[in-house]
């Protein structure tokens, strides 16, 4: 099962609650690339991690995948277990929701394996306790996200587009970025109607931003180099940080231009993680 990469096309910090959590307004989409979750019947819960970014990751009970599995089992009263394999294809602590997507895919997959249907509301409650990005990853569709991640509304009518993801290979912890953030809060950037085509889509996104960009650059300075490199590629309509970074993305109109840009960036920056993928426009069939 694919746990797709989450991409914040824009991210505005609109306030801060008394408990310290920041309030956000974001348009989140998913790229057709990501980690893989495989499930098999077992009498106990276990997790094996492999893949290009799997080395050194903790597969113990604190892993978000196992926490999701235990939470679902507690909710449903299922006595069965599962042998879970996580193939980690996405960089860790990279702003594209890898761990959150893994947890969401685990919840959806185990509902099928265990033949349980707790309902969307109950699953979203579990997801929210696991992490701010898990609810939107559970839905897996383009979404406008508010609050601390619990306010979800579908973003319908987005045109086809391609995303070129680039990460310089430096983990960028989200708490450090939020701690470094300075300046006033932004206004929400909701749209009354969907963009009519790719050019209108890109123009609207250019009118928004990612309020964590400068903070992320202060934590991981090479992010600025990634943004500059993406923006210089032919056909790139927008270059922006995703989430708290360090992954950045370029927005492209079609596969040909994204593929050409991917090849050029890989040649210029062979040590970076670089991949092009279409922007997903509907949920994965579970």
Tell me, yes or no, whether 135 and 11 share the same domain.
Answer: yes
- For the beta carbon of residue 246, count every other beta carbon within 10 angstroms: 29
Name every residue whose Cβ is closer than 8 Å to that of residue 166 and which is 6 or more positions away in sequence: 226, 229, 230, 247, 248, 249, 250, 265, 269, 272, 273, 274
Alpha carbon 105 to its chain's center? 12
Of 137, 153, 169, the last residue of a domain is 153
Is position 186 within any domain? yes
Tell me, yes or no, whether 184 and 268 share the same domain.
Answer: yes
Tell me, yes or no, whether 273 and 147 share the same domain.
Answer: no
Tell me, yes or no, whether 136 and 20 share the same domain.
Answer: yes
Tell me, yes or no, whether 106 and 140 share the same domain.
Answer: yes
Domain that holds residue 190: 156-280
Tell me, yes or no, whether 130 and 174 share the same domain.
Answer: no
Which tens digit of pLDDT belongs to each residue from 196-223?
A: 999 999 999 999 999 999 999 999 999 9
pLDDT on residue 286: 56
Tokens of residue 12, six digits: 């505005």
Q: What's 215's domain CATH number? A: 3.30.70.890
Tell me, yes or no, whether 121 and 160 share the same domain.
Answer: no
Q: How far apart are CA 234 and CA 253, in angstroms?
A: 11
pLDDT on residue 181: 96
pLDDT on residue 285: 58
For the annotated catalytic residues, the residue numbers are: 6, 133
Q: What's 50's domain CATH number? A: 3.30.230.10
Of 127, 153, 179, the last residue of a domain is 153
Tell me, yes or no, whether 18 and 139 share the same domain.
Answer: yes
Contact call for residues 268 and 229 (beta carbons, < 8 A) = yes
Is position 166 within any domain? yes
Is position 40 within any domain? yes
Tell me, yes or no, whether 169 and 249 share the same domain.
Answer: yes
Tell me, yes or no, whether 192 and 234 share the same domain.
Answer: yes
Tell me, yes or no, whether 178 and 161 share the same domain.
Answer: yes
Tens place of pLDDT per residue across the chain (286 aa): 999 999 999 999 999 999 999 999 999 999 999 999 999 999 999 999 999 999 999 999 999 999 999 999 999 999 999 999 999 999 998 999 999 999 999 999 999 999 999 999 999 999 999 999 999 999 999 999 999 999 999 999 999 999 999 999 999 999 999 999 999 999 999 888 999 999 999 999 999 999 999 999 999 999 999 999 999 999 999 999 999 999 999 999 999 999 999 999 999 999 999 999 999 977 775 5
Is position 286 within any domain? no
Of 153, 188, 212, the last residue of a domain is 153
Burial (CB count within 10 angstroms: exposed 0-12, middle 13-18, buried 19+), residue 223: buried
Is position 285 within any domain? no
**What is the count of structural domains for the chain?**
2
Tell me, yes or no, whether 95 and 170 share the same domain.
Answer: no
């Amino acid at each position: 099962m694919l746990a797709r990469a989450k991409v914040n096309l824009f991210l505005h910090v609109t306030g801060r609650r008394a408990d310290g959590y920041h309030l956000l307004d974001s348009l989140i989409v998913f790229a057709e690339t990501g980690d893989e979750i495989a499930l098999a019947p077992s009498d106990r819960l276990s997790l094996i991690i492999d893949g290009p970014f799997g080395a050194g990751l903790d597969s113990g009970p604190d892993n978000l995948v196992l926490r999701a599995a235990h939470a679902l089992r507690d909710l449903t009263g299922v006595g069965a277990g599962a042998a879970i394999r996580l193939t980690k294809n996405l960089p860790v602590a990279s702003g594209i929701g890898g761990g959150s997507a893994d947890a969401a895919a685990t919840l959806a997959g185990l509902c099928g394996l265990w033949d349980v249907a707790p309902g969307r509301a109950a699953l979203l409650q579990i997801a929210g306790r696991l992490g701010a990005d898990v609810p939107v990853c559970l839905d897996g569709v383009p979404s406008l996200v508010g609050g601390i991640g619990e306010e979800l509304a579908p973003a319908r009518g987005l045109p086809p587009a391609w995303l070129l993801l680039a990460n310089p290979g430096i983990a960028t912890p989200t708490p450090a970025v939020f701690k470094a953030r300075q300046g006033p809060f932004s206004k929400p950037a909701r749209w009354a109607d969907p963009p009519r085509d790719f050019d209108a889509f890109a123009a609207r996104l250019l009118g928004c931003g990612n309020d964590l960009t400068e903070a992320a650059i202060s934590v991981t300075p090479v992010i600025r180099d990634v943004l500059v490199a993406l923006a210089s590629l032919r056909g790139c309509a927008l270059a922006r940080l995703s989430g708290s970074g360090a992954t950045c993305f370029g927005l492209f109109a079609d596969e040909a231009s994204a593929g050409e840009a991917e090849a050029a960036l890989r040649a210029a920056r062979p040590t970076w993680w670089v991949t092009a993928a279409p922007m997903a426009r509907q949920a994965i069939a579970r």
